[in-house]
Chains A and B, each alone.
Chain A
Amino acid sequence: MVPFGGWDMPVEYSGIVAEHLAVRERAGIFDVSHMGQIEVAGKNALEAVQRISCNDAAKLQVGQAQYSGLLTPDGTFVDDILVYRLAPQHFMLVVNASHIGKDYEHIAEGIKPAGDAVAVDASSRYALVAVQGPQAREVVQPLTAVDLGAMKYYWFAHGEVAGIRATVSRTGYTGEDGYEIFVPPPQADRLWLALLESGREVGLIPCGLGARDTLRLEASMRLHGNDIDETTTVLEADLGWIVGWKKPDFVGAERLRRQKAEGIARRLVGLEMQEPGIARAGHDVYVGDSKVGAVTSGTQTPYLKKAIAMAYLPVAQATAGSEVEVDIRGRRARATVVPMPFYKRTQ
């Protein structure tokens, strides 16, 4: 167990490689109750969310979710979030565990000009269990009347799972198909056991933080604190697709518009090692004798069986095929810039 955002969480149950492969090939179950939930409601809730979230929440129908960012006025990440539209004027923002307090203050302050809207930290009302993998539906469907086959990616529905009042969302942080199930904390252990039992036949196994990290990295999903933070803008993180360029003003918009017009100096890229060695967060990246950037995340991926990494590089080096070197504890190892995601599911 390791401390993580105020929680004690297992890095691994049976081993990171076995857990990672289970999610890619069958299914895995994750306790991600540490994630925070901040609800925004009121007559002007949509306007409020539009101010503090960079994606366009007006595009969401009730029952739909989107990836977005909470930004500083500089267009950098206070946090990355998922925005769920629970009702026309009621939203739930799922945020990173370690930032719940900071995010809440940022949101409560940021929505003030919107008028009638309040932000509530509802984190203690939700436990969250994720079932991820190509066979996730076979695991969850027998326990619920919610038609999971009819649920599209990044949509959600309310219902019961294993007799427990739940919100089921077709989302995840693994690059695999799957579901995230929000339930009241007192029922979380019963849900966990019911899912384990239901998944026994397909080979569902519990997965810890270690596999969650290798899976998300293989799928090129950014980790706040590593790949994105308050020093990196949305455009530098190559996440321009989460910016609602046409929507009304939002925190960070001016800077992003300027950066879009003037161009960025550096961009987050994928690296694949060409020589033995594993690039890890913090390792410097060189072209010849010049230090040009740094690795933000890196690992040996259990499924692709390659050493991969993300790094910020000057745009001149940030094109696929570009050759760089990573300083791995004093030894230089060649790496190539490759397109992201490293892994994309086929189905």
Chain B
Amino acid sequence: MMAYPAGYKYSKDHEWIDISGDRGKVGITDFAQKQLGDVVYVELPEVGAQLKAGQSFGTIESVKAVSELYAPVSGEVVEVNGGLKDKPEAVNADPHATWMVSIRLSDPDEAGSLLDATQYADLVK
């Protein structure tokens, strides 16, 4: 079992966010990538898109299934990981280092309601 980085926050929808200042990079957890299996396609929003916490910001497809990606916090997309277009399998290989979007948080307090690594590990145990 891959360890969940202690510095990250986690959503019940199995996204992680690595917050630094008013920005946070978002990816999916090891648990989520295992459920999906081999990831073959990630569809991400444009830079500038406004996201609301809990809202879908894209889709991730494995060979066998399609899943929505949910924003763990509200804010504006300031960066998108374009490298995933050619290497979607990075999500499987290194899920906690493979970010999808960087969000400028519009309400930093929202992060307080997310899970920490221990709570998330308990959730998926």
Contact = CB atoms under 8 A, between A and B. Distances in A.
Interface of A: 11-12, 15-18, 20, 210, 214, 276-278, 280, 299-300, 302, 307, 329
A91 B27 CA distance: 55
Interface of B: 37-38, 40-41, 43, 59, 61-64, 66, 85, 89
B37 A300 contact: no
Given A12-B37, A277-B43, A300-B41, A210 B66 contact: no
A99 B18 CA distance: 50
B61 A300 contact: yes
Given A11-B64, A276-B85, A300 B59 contact: no
Q: Which of B37, B63, B85, B89 has the most CB of A within 10 A?
A: B63
A297 to B, nearest CB: 13
Contacts of A15: 37-38
A280 B85 CA distance: 19
A110 to B, nearest CB: 36
A307 B41 CA distance: 10
A18 B43 CA distance: 23
Given A278-B61, A302-B63, A210 B41 contact: no
A210 B43 contact: no
B38 A17 contact: yes
Nearest to B88: A300
B63 A17 contact: yes
Given A278-B41, A280-B66, 15 more contacts: A11-B64, A16-B37, A16-B62, A17-B89, A20-B63, A214-B63, A278-B61, A278-B66, A300-B41, A300-B61, A300-B63, A302-B40, A302-B63, A307-B41, A329-B59
Contacts of A17: 38, 40, 63, 89
Contacts of B63: 16-17, 20, 210, 214, 299-300, 302
Nearest to B63: A16
CB-CB nearest 4 A-B residue pairs? A300-B40, A17-B38, A16-B63, A210-B64
A218 B63 CA distance: 13
A276 B38 contact: no
A3 to B, nearest CB: 15
Contacts of B37: 11-12, 15-16, 210
Nearest to A11: B64
A210 B38 CA distance: 11
Q: Which of B37, B38, B43, B61 has the most CB of A within 10 A?
A: B38
A16 B43 contact: no
A207 to B, nearest CB: 13
A16 B36 CA distance: 11
B16 to A, nearest CB: 22
A277 B43 CA distance: 8
Given A300-B61, A329-B59, A276 B66 contact: no
B64 A276 contact: no
Contacts of B40: 17, 278, 300, 302
A2 B43 CA distance: 27
Nearest to A18: B38
Contacts of A280: 66
B43 A302 contact: no
A317 to B, nearest CB: 25
A110 B59 CA distance: 48
B41 A276 contact: yes
A137 B99 CA distance: 44
